[in-house]
Structure 1
Amino acid sequence: MTDKQLARPEFMIDSWDFSSHPAEPIHDAFHTRQNSWFHFQRNIAGLSAWLEQSGIPDPVIDAVLEEDTRPRFDRINDGFLLILRGVNKADGDKPEDMISLRILYFKGNLYSFRRRPVTAVRLIQGLLETQQGPQSLPDFILQLVDEMTNNIELLQDNIEAEMERLEDDERGTTSDRQRALTNLHRRLLRLTRFVRPQLTALDKLAADGPKWFDAEWAQWLLNERDNTHRELENMEMLLEQVWMLREHLHQDLAEKMNRNTYWLSMVAGVFLPISFLTGLFGINIGGMPGVDDSNAFWIFSGALLIIAVIEFLLLRRLRFW
């Protein structure tokens, strides 16, 4: 076998042998390894052929290299396929645009595939390098799911804090608060779009897990599944809060508009007869009373004031406000 065949391929990001503890990095003879983890950059040429050489069936290769996926669990011969979504922590990207991580457990080996870096995987890589990482492949899966769930929880906490700030914001304009709520609503919808099927995938993995791992591992995975379920319930509650606050803002805006319209109507009602009289007495034709009387203006102004006061008292007695 040539040195080129022994060298790590360009598409292989990392590889570790879990046959002993602590795990050891793998530098050669990749196809003959057992109880090992291989991490790949899935958009680099040559990966499909390498997986074929490892004996992985073509339909499974197509599934792990497919461009657009959603969280799911599929049982296959000699293993399973688990597709998860994690928080996107890349600079300049939106965290809720969750990135895909495909996990293939096949004939005792674990294969993971990414396009963009996954924070949970990088954390485990760092732990392995310091000999503090998971002790086995089942432990690796549990820790990976746990870290991905923790990152979702942190993102949800940030959204919840922003939601509380909007609820307590009495100085911001209604339009600004509405825009912020629309943005929060969109972010939560993107999260629930992936977290809900991810919960289903973990349910199926927990049910089928004892086929490959022990019962204790399945129980730990159920705990992780419950954490994901709790996060989903919190997201749904936040969606309800967003909806309720938006309804409150709509109602508050409608009340302000109604109140302003009401007072404009009141002012118009008070000044309508006064405007009629001033218009009537403003005509320039003969026969107008008081034309030759120097006190006629003050008498007329006093009459208008009396009419305005009578209207005000009448409207108040009729409980117009």
Structure 2
Amino acid sequence: MDFLIDAWDFSQHPAKQLQSPSSAAENTWFHFQRDADGLTEWLTQAGIPEPLIDAVLEEDTRPRFQRLPDGFMLLLRGVNLNTGESPEDMLSLRLLYYKGALYSFRKRPFLSIAKLREQLDQQMGPESLHDFIVALIEQLNLRIEDVVSSAEQQLEVIEGEGFDNTASVQIKLTALHRRLLRLNRFIRPQLAALEKLSTETEKVMSTELHQWLINERDTTQRLFEQIDLMLEQVWMQREQLQQAIAEKMNRNTYWLSVIAGVFLPLSFLTGVFGINIGGMPGVESEGAFMIFCGALVIIAIVEFLLLRRLRFW
């Protein structure tokens, strides 16, 4: 069975790995490669209804919780920490708890799942399926928190750079904004799904496990609020950046206007005395050019002093 990645029996503690399970049983966790051939037929033989099979094998999903007569379905998202991938391109993990057995489906590797499998190999992992679900949510949150913390540090660095190089700051803010929006897209519905999970499982989970689940829901709430706050900070940085760009443009325009005002009368005089027609004064005088240049310098100085007195700068 190429579609079966791993299987564990939680009917005893520590959990026991199943080498070649032929059918589903209570207190058993099956981890599947959801795009492998033969999985649909195996799930059908395990007695899982076709609508549920279609739901867990659907290509594009959003985090959600659905209560079932014989269990529940929980669709989650985790950050993509695979080599060469962007963490904000969140991966989909589907959980189906049906008739006492837990089925998980992924398309690409999850470090959170790998961590739990490593703990199970060391006989230090979760003690039950409910414990496994809570531990899995915890692992997902830990990795999301690392990515969010990294984004927060990046935002602090951008804020500390100032706006001397507006083009560079604009590029960094745009990349960070896109990253946060992608995280926020799935964290918001994931929080709602975990809230429903904590409500629906209150009577079937032990008090201690249910409290751990509530803690993880609160962690997701904190991460969502942290992302939301950073989005607001990015918008503020963008507004300050636009203001800095506008001030720079206004300052440059102002100085161009001052320079144009100074040279306007000078350009007028040089234009008038540049006319090659009879009657122009000083045409026959050898010192007329120097006198004219001196007059231009005096006029420029007077304009400079006048603008300074009028507090143009």
TM-score between the two structures when normalised by the length of structure 2: 0.95
Residue 166 (structure 2) aligns with: 174
Shifted more, 164-173 versus 83-92: the winner is: 164-173
- Measure the CA separation in 2 of the matches of 1:132 and 1:180: 42
- Measure the CA separation in 1 of the matches of 2:116 and 2:201: 21
- Measure the CA separation in 2 of the matches of 1:288 and 1:54: 108
Residue 5 (structure 1) aligns with: none
- Measure the CA separation in 1 of the matches of 2:258 and 2:101: 80
1:110-129 correspondence to structure 2 within 5 Å: 110-129=102-121
Residue 308 (structure 1) aligns with: 300
Q: Structure 1 stretches of 5 or more lacking a match?
A: 1-8
Residue number among 277, 290, 302 corresponding to 2:282 in the alignment: 290
Q: Structure 1 residues 314, 19: closer, same or farther in 2, change over 3 A? A: same
Q: C-alpha displacement at 1:293, in angstroms? A: 3.6
**Alpha carbons 2:79, 2:143 under 8 Å: kept:** yes
Identity of aligned residues (%): 58
Q: Structure 1 residues 16, 273: closer, same or farther in 2, change over 3 A? A: same
Q: C-alpha displacement at 1:28, in angstroms? A: 4.4
Q: C-alpha displacement at 1:256, in angstroms? A: 1.2
1:7-156 correspondence to structure 2 within 5 Å: 9-31=1-23, 33-156=25-148
**Alpha carbons 2:62, 2:75 under 8 Å: kept:** yes
Residue type of the partner of 2:62? R
Residue 206 (structure 2) aligns with: 214
Residue 268 (structure 1) aligns with: 260
Q: Structure 2 stretches of 5 or more lacking a match?
A: none
- Measure the CA separation in 2 of the matches of 1:126 and 1:214: 25
- Measure the CA separation in 1 of the matches of 2:270 and 2:233: 55
**Alpha carbons 2:163, 2:169 under 8 Å: kept:** no
Shifted more, 157-166 versus 100-109: the winner is: 157-166
Q: C-alpha displacement at 1:32, in angstroms? A: 5.5
- Measure the CA separation in 1 of the matches of 2:290 and 2:14: 104
TM-score between the two structures when normalised by the length of structure 1: 0.92
- Measure the CA separation in 1 of the matches of 2:172 and 2:214: 36
Q: C-alpha displacement at 1:295, in angstroms? A: 3.6
**What value does the CA root-mean-square deviation take over the aligned residues?**
1.7
Q: Structure 1 residues 172, 118: closer, same or farther in 2, change over 3 A? A: farther
**Secondary structure in 2 aligned to 1:255?**
helix
Residue 255 (structure 1) aligns with: 247
Residue 159 (structure 1) aligns with: 151
**Alpha carbons 2:75, 2:94 under 8 Å: kept:** yes
Residue-pair matches, total: 313
What per-residue deviation string (whole Å, max 9, x for no partner) do you get for residues 220-275 of structure 1? 11110111111111111111122211222221111111111111111110111111
Residue 229 (structure 2) aligns with: 237
Q: C-alpha displacement at 1:181, in angstroms? A: 1.3
